[in-house]
Amino acid sequence: MITIYALCGGYLELPYESMIRDASPSRWTVPIECFLIDHPRGRLLFDTGLHCDTLTNMLGRYGPERATRFGVHSKAGDDVVSQLARVGLEPADVPFVANSHWHFDHCGGNEFFPQATIIVQQREMDAARSPELLAQGKYRPSPKDYDHPLRYHAVDGDHDVFGDGSVVLIPTYGHTPGHQSLLVRRGRDERLLFTADACYTRENMDRDILPTVVWDEREMSHALGRLRDLRDKQGAMTVYGHDPAQWRTLRQAPAPMA
Ligand SMILES: [Zn+2]
């Protein structure tokens, strides 16, 4: 039996119109979501959230531009290591970590998992290590979040984490060069889909509207369509990447979400 825990990685305040591109400018606060998948063969952590230093020193960690664009509304304990402790675990109890992508709110806690295998799409890794591509300025990861002596495992496309088809990383490129989402199959019929930033909110999927933070529009639209099919045609319970309304309805750790 697979058990899933929703871990609160804190909250970010940001421009609403960056998530819903036709919205009037305003600020809103969104959750940073991490998920622990407890499988009989081991555990997978999907995303590591913000680095704990961002709670107290966003400016020092990321500089003035991001400190102005983003407000951090997290409290002590809203970091992934503290959240794991809520379910009685330490980083060493988690053999697999996956990053949906390498934006700072999804891989900030990577450095705390030196024993884990960290699964990232090859395309994300190649892009983050290409000076020419980074110089274009459309994809802006922060090396201080992921560039540590960690055991990265690059994958290309679908990746079946435990080899039984129940926990599968699926490529959803477009938000960033190598974004991936997570599909969990439980029992015969139950599917849970964790979109991460391939779909920020339910509104993005329902209205087929992209954010402004996009690496490749065509690829991101295609990925959004694939995710919508999983939700609407295959009945996958869908957890969006940064949806405040949905987050309030999810049971958070230490209780299992599902
Ligand atoms: Zn994000």
Span 215-226, mean pLDDT?
A: 98
CB 241 within 8 A of CB 9: no
Structure confidence at residue 37 as a pLDDT band (50, 70, 90): very high
In terms of pLDDT, which residue wins out, 137 or 219?
A: 219
- Domain assignment of residue 190, yes or no: yes
Give me ligand 1 centre to Cα 200, in Å: 8
- Domain assignment of residue 101, yes or no: yes
Give me ligand 1 centre to Cα 163, in Å: 28
Q: Which of 26, 22, 32 is nearest to 207 (CA)?
A: 22
Give me ligand 1 centre to Cα 58, in Å: 16
Give me ligand 1 centre to Cα 192, in Å: 19
User: Cα–Cα distances in Å, from 258 out to 42, 126, 131, 155, 245?
Assistant: 17, 34, 41, 27, 18
Give me ligand 1 centre to Cα 188, in Å: 31
Span 44-49, mean pLDDT?
A: 98
- Domain assignment of residue 254, yes or no: no
Give me ligand 1 centre to Cα 243, in Å: 10
- Domain assignment of residue 255, yes or no: no
User: Cα–Cα distances in Å, from 57 out to 33, 72, 149?
Assistant: 20, 9, 24
Structure confidence at residue 55 as a pLDDT band (50, 70, 90): confident
No. of H helices and E strands in the chain?
A: 10, 12
Task: Please say if the pLDDT value at position 56 is more than 90.
Answer: no
CB 25 within 8 A of CB 14: no
Task: Give SS3 for 67.
Answer: helix
- 95-99, 134-138, 248-252: segment of lowest average pLDDT: 134-138
Average pLDDT, the chain: 96
Per-residue confidence (pLDDT) for residue 233, from 0 to 100? 97
pLDDT for 155-186, tens place per residue?
999 999 999 999 999 999 999 999 999 999 99
Domain interval for residue 107: 3-249
Cβ within 8 Å of residue 225, ≥6 positions away: none
Q: Which of 50, 20, 18 is nearest to 32 (CA)?
A: 50
Secondary element (H or E) of residue 184: strand 180-186
CB 167 within 8 A of CB 95: no
What is the C-alpha separation between 136 and 258, in angstroms, rounded?
Answer: 41
Span 32-55, mean pLDDT?
A: 97
- Domain assignment of residue 196, yes or no: yes
Give me ligand 1 centre to Cα 196, in Å: 7
What is the C-alpha separation between 99 and 216, in angstroms, rounded?
Answer: 19
Cβ within 8 Å of residue 3, ≥6 positions away: 37, 38, 256, 258
CATH of the domain at 168: 3.60.15.10
Number of structural domains in the chain: 1
